[in-house]
Amino acid sequence: MILKLLLVIAVIGVVYFMFIKKKPIKNSTKNETTKNEKNEKPQSNDMVECSTCGIYAELSDSILSNNKYYCSDECVGKS
């Protein structure tokens, strides 16, 4: 009788730990968040700063030259 009871408790424990109990969520620190943000690719609606004049333009409207973003052809020519 006791063996059956221990077996039922063991099965319930295994089922609980495998299916019901959720794993703890790790808290991300600022350093991890910063690393993740740097690794993300920019999206088309992100704002980037012009390397020459310093104004911000949407990524889809800006010009990429020598790994720098520019707002217009004039700024590309100035650099």
CATH code at 46-79: 3.30.60
Residues 6+ apart with CB under 8 A from 68: 51, 79
The pLDDT value recorded for residue 68 is: 92
Q: Which helix (H) or strand (E) holds 56?
A: strand 56-58
Per-residue pLDDT of the chain (79 residues; tens, 9 = 90+): 899 999 999 999 998 888 877 767 776 555 555 555 556 776 767 899 999 999 999 988 999 999 999 999 999 998 7
Tokens of 65: 């030259």
Stated pTM of the model: 0.47
Where in the chain are the domains? 46-79
